[in-house]
C-alpha cells in the first residue's frame, strides 16, 4: 500500500497546488519582439519554448533576452527563441512534493521548474520564491499561534490577579464580622486566584491580542472565575458532603449564578447563611454585572483597538476605557444611595440593604433574606425598580450623565425603545394578571431588566402573561449593560435586515446584522433542548422552558424546576447556560466563526 504523504507541513504539499498556470508557450521559430509582447501582456518573466506537440524543449527568460540580444552583432528583430533558449528544460511532475522541487532546484542550480502532467503536458511554472513565501507564512502562522496562546495566558493571569484583589473586600467584611468559615473560604479563593494569576503572568508572554483571542480570554476568564468561586460555597453552604460530585455541581451552579448575574439559586433560605456570605454572593453579581473582565482587558489595549471590541459588547461607545472606569465609580454611588434610602425606609440591616442594592443594580436578583421582598412599601418597590432599570440601561447612557457631550442618537434611540417595550409589556402583563398592580409591575420590570426579583408564583401564570414575561426576558435590557437577553441594541440591528444585501453596506454593519439574526434564532431555540431534557426527567415542559430561558438570559426568575433535587449533569447544564448568557453566546460565535469578526 503506498505511503500517504504528510500534508501538515508546506513542503509535503503537491507541486500542482502552487504552480502558476499563466504561462506563455511559443515555438522556437518565434521572433523576440513577438515574445516580448506576450510577456508584457501576461506580465511574466519567461517563455516556455515548445515543439509542434507542445512538449517543452527550452526556456527563455527576460534576462536571456536582455543579455543575448544586447551584443553588437545581434539583430533582435530577426532573432528567434530557438537562438537564445536554455535547454534542456528542467521539469518536475505535478504529483511530486515541494520538497522534491526544492531538491531538484538545488541539484540543477535553478530557481524555477516547468510543471508537467503524467502525459508530459505543461501544467504551469513553479518558482522558488513561491516555496520560500509559503514557508515564511507557515512559520509566521506557527509563531503567531504560539504567541497568541501565551499572550492569552499572560492576560488571563492579569484578570485572575485583579479578581483576587477584588475578592478581598468581602473577605475583610467576613473577618470584621468574625465569621470564620466564610472568611476562610473567600480568602482561600482570593489567594488561589492571585497565585494562579501570578504564575500565568510569569510564564505567559505579553503580546498584542487579536479580537478572537480576546473572545477566548473573556470566555475562559468567566469559566475560571466561576470555578474558583465554588470554593467558598463548598465550605459554607450545607450541601450533602457525602456526595462530592453533587456538592461540587451545586457549588459550581451557585458560583455561576453569581458571576454571571444569573440569579437562579438552590438556596431556599439565604437568611440561614452567614451575613457576610450573603454580602459576598451579591458582591460577585456586582463584579460580574459590571463586566470587570472587559475593564481589565481595556487597560492593556490602545483606544483604536478597543473600537473593535464593541462588536461583541453590543454598543458603539466612545472612549471605552474611560467609560468602564466611570461606570464602575458611578454604579458604586448608585448602590450606596439605594442602600441608604432602603435602610431609611425599611430600617433593615445595612449590610442586607447593600446586598439588595447590589443585586438590583447588577440585575442579579439574589436576596439576602427569603422574606425581604414581602410586605415592601410602594416607595421601597419603586426604589428597587429604579435600581433594576439603571442596571438595564446602556453603560454609555450613564457615561453621558457625566460626559454629556458624548450622548449620541444611537443611545437615545435604544433607551427610548427599551422604555417603550417596558411600558407595553407592563401594561399587558398588568391587565392579564389577577394580582396586586405593584406586584405585576415589579415582576415584569424584574423580567425585562433580567434581574430576577420575584414576588409572585410564576407557575400560576396564564398563557398570555407567561408569553409576555418570557418575551421580556428574551429581549432583555439595553446593549452593554448589566442586563442579559438578546438586547434592544440587536433589535434595532434586526430592523435593518432589509439592508443586508445592499452593496454600500459596510462589512462591520453587515456582520452586526448577521450576528443579531443568529442570536435572535439561538436565544429561544437553545432552551428548547434543555426543556426537552427536563421533560424526559418528568418535569413540566413549559415550566422547564421558562427556567431555561431564565438561565440563558441571566434573569433568575423561576417556575420551580431548578432545585437541589436535580441531578449533577442537569445542574451543570444550567450553570453553563448562565455562562453562555453572560457572554451573550457572541463570544462563542467569534471563537468558532472568525469570519464574523470585522
- Among 11-25, 89-103, 275-289, 308-322, which range has the highest average pLDDT? 275-289
Section 416-434 average pLDDT: 90
- Among 178-187, 230-239, 480-489, which range has the highest average pLDDT? 178-187
* Residue 469 predicted with pLDDT over 90: yes
Q: Which pLDDT score is estimated for 347?
A: 73
Q: Which pLDDT score is estimated for 480?
A: 76
Q: Which pLDDT score is estimated for 320?
A: 58
Phi, psi dihedral angles at 50 (to 5 degrees): -125, 160
Lowest mean pLDDT among 78-92, 167-181, 217-231: 78-92
By CB neighbour count within 10 A (0-12 exposed, 13-18 middle, 19+ buried), where does 300 fall? Answer: middle
Who has greater pLDDT, 148 or 73?
148
Section 357-363 average pLDDT: 92
By CB neighbour count within 10 A (0-12 exposed, 13-18 middle, 19+ buried), where does 583 fall? Answer: buried
* Residue 411 predicted with pLDDT over 60: no
The span from the CA of 193 to the CA of 24, in Å, is 65
**Residue 562 has which C-alpha cell?**
431548578
Walk me through the domains of the chain, giving residue ranges and CATH numbers.
Answer: 10-133 (3.10.580.10), 209-596 (no CATH)
Q: Which pLDDT score is estimated for 441?
A: 92
Q: Which pLDDT score is estimated for 3?
A: 40
Question: Sorting pLDDT into bands at 50, 70 and 90, what band is 4?
Answer: very low
Who has greater pLDDT, 579 or 78?
579
**Residue 548 has which C-alpha cell?**
431555561
* Residue 409 predicted with pLDDT over 60: no
Tally the residues of the chain: 598
In angstroms, what is the C-alpha Rg of the chain?
A: 33
* Residue 422 predicted with pLDDT over 80: yes
H or E segment at 91?
strand 91-93
**pLDDT tens sequence across 158-172:** 889 988 988 999 999
Q: Which pLDDT score is estimated for 319?
A: 59
Q: Which pLDDT score is estimated for 341?
A: 94
Section 541-567 average pLDDT: 92
Q: Which pLDDT score is estimated for 7?
A: 43
Question: Sorting pLDDT into bands at 50, 70 and 90, what band is 472?
Answer: very high
Question: Sorting pLDDT into bands at 50, 70 and 90, what band is 481?
Answer: confident
Q: Contact at 8 Å (CB) between 210 and 149? A: no
* Residue 406 predicted with pLDDT over 60: no
Question: Sorting pLDDT into bands at 50, 70 and 90, what band is 410?
Answer: very low
**Residue 406 has which C-alpha cell?**
458624548
Section 247-266 average pLDDT: 92
Q: Which pLDDT score is estimated for 31?
A: 85
Question: Sorting pLDDT into bands at 50, 70 and 90, what band is 502?
Answer: confident
Question: Sorting pLDDT into bands at 50, 70 and 90, what band is 1?
Answer: very low
Query: What average pLDDT is seen over the chain?
Result: 82
| DSSP result, 242-297 | TSHHHHHHHHHHHHHHHHT-----S-S-GGGS-HHHHHHHHHHHHHHHTTHHHHHH
Residue closest to 550 by CA, chosen among 454, 422, 452, 457: 452
Report the percentage of the chain scoring pLDDT > 70: 84
Question: Sorting pLDDT into bands at 50, 70 and 90, what band is 191?
Answer: very high
Instruction: Write b or e for each residue in 156-189: b if 16 or more Cβ atoms lie within 10 A of its Cβ, otherwise e.
Output: bbbbbbbbbebbbebbebbbebebeebbbbbbeb
- Which single residue is written with the C-alpha cell 510564564? 203
- Which single residue is written with the C-alpha cell 503580546? 207
Section 392-413 average pLDDT: 68
**pLDDT tens sequence across 522-533:** 999 999 999 999
Q: Which pLDDT score is estimated for 56?
A: 85
Q: Contact at 8 Å (CB) between 181 and 236? A: yes
Q: Which pLDDT score is estimated for 519?
A: 87
Who has greater pLDDT, 527 or 439?
527
Section 209-232 average pLDDT: 85
* Beta strands, E only, 345-407: none
Amino acid at each position: 500500500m503506498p505511503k500517504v504523504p504528510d500534508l501538515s507541513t508546506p513542503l509535503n504539499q503537491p507541486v500542482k497546488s502552487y504552480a502558476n498556470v499563466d504561462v506563455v508557450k511559443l515555438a522556437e521559430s518565434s521572433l523576440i519582439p513577438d515574445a516580448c509582447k506576450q510577456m508584457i501582456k501576461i506580465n511574466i518573466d519567461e517563455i516556455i519554448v515548445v515543439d509542434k506537440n507542445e512538449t517543452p524543449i527550452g526556456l527563455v527568460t527576460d534576462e536571456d533576452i536582455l543579455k543575448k540580444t544586447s551584443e553588437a552583432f545581434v539583430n533582435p528583430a530577426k532573432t528567434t527563441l530557438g537562438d537564445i533558449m536554455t535547454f534542456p528544460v528542467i521539469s518536475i511532475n505535478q504529483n511530486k512534493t515541494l520538497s522534491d522541487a526544492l531538491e531538484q532546484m538545488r541539484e540543477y542550480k535553478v530557481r524555477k521548474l516547468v510543471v508537467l502532467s503524467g502525459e508530459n503536458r505543461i501544467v504551469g511554472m513553479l518558482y522558488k520564491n513561491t516555496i520560500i513565501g509559503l514557508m515564511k507564512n507557515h512559520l509566521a502562522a506557527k509563531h503567531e499561534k504560539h504567541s497568541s496562546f501565551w499572550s492569552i495566558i499572560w492576560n488571563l493571569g492579569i484578570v485572575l490577579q485583579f479578581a483576587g484583589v477584588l475578592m478581598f473586600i468581602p473577605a475583610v467584611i467576613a473577618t470584621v464580622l468574625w465569621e470564620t468559615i466564610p472568611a476562610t473560604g473567600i480568602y482561600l479563593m482570593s489567594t488561589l486566584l492571585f497565585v494562579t494569576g501570578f504564575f500565568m503572568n510569569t510564564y505567559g508572554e505579553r503580546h498584542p491580542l487579536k479580537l478572537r483571542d480576546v473572545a477566548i480570554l473573556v470566555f475562559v476568564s468567566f469559566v475560571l472565575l466561576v470555578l474558583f468561586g465554588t470554593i467558598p460555597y463548598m465550605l459554607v453552604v450545607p450541601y450533602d458532603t457525602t456526595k462530592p460530585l453533587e456538592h461540587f455541581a451545586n457549588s459550581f451552579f451557585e458560583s455561576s449564578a453569581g458571576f454571571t448575574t444569573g440569579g437562579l439559586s438552590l438556596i431556599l433560605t439565604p437568611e440561614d447563611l452567614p451575613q457576610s456570605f450573603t454580602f459576598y454572593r451579591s458582591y460577585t453579581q456586582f463584579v460580574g454585572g459590571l463586566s470587570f473582565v472587559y475593564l481589565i482587558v481595556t487597560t492593556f489595549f490602545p483606544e483604536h483597538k478597543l473600537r473593535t471590541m464593541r462588536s461583541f459588547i453590543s454598543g458603539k461607545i466612545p472612549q471605552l476605557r474611560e467609560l468602564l472606569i466611570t461606570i464602575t465609580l458611578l454604579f458604586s454611588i448608585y448602590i450606596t444611595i439605594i442602600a441608604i434610602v432602603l435602610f431609611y425606609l425599611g430600617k433593615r440591616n445595612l449590610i442586607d440593604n447593600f446586598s439588595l442594592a447590589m443585586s438590583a443594580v447588577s440585575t442579579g436578583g439574589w436576596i439576602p433574606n427569603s422574606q425581604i421582598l414581602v410586605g415592601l412599601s410602594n416607595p421601597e418597590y419603586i426604589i428597587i425598580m429604579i435600581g433594576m432599570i439603571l442596571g438595564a440601561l446602556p453603560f454609555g447612557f450613564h457615561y453621558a450623565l457625566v460626559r454629556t457631550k458624548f450622548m449620541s442618537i444611537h443611545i437615545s434611540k435604544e433607551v427610548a425603545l427599551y422604555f417603550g417595550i417596558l411600558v407595553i409589556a407592563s401594561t399587558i402583563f398588568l391587565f392579564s394578571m389577577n394580582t396586586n398592580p405593584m406586584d405585576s409591575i415589579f415582576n415584569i420590570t424584574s423580567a425585562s431588566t433580567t434581574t430576577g426579583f420575584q414576588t409572585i408564583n410564576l407557575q400560576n401564570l396564564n398563557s398570555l402573561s407567561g408569553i409576555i414575561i418570557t418575551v421580556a426576558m428574551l429581549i432583555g435590557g439595553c446593549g452593554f449593560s448589566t442586563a442579559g437577553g438578546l438586547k434592544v441594541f440587536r433589535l434595532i440591528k434586526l430592523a435593518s435586515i432589509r439592508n443586508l444585501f445592499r452593496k454600500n453596506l459596510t462589512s462591520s454593519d453587515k456582520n452586526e446584522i448577521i450576528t443579531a439574526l443568529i442570536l435572535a434564532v439561538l436565544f429561544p431555540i437553545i432552551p428548547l433542548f434543555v426543556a426537552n431534557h427536563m421533560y424526559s426527567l418528568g418535569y413540566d415542559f413549559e415550566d422547564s422552558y421558562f427556567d431555561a430561558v431564565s438561565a440563558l438570559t441571566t434573569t433568575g426568575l423561576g417556575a420551580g424546576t431548578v432545585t437541589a433535587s436535580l441531578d449533577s449533569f442537569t445542574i451543570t447544564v444550567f450553570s453553563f447556560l448562565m455562562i453562555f448568557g453572560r457572554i451573550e453566546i457572541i463570544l462563542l460565535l467569534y471563537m468558532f466563526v472568525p469570519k464574523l469578526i470585522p
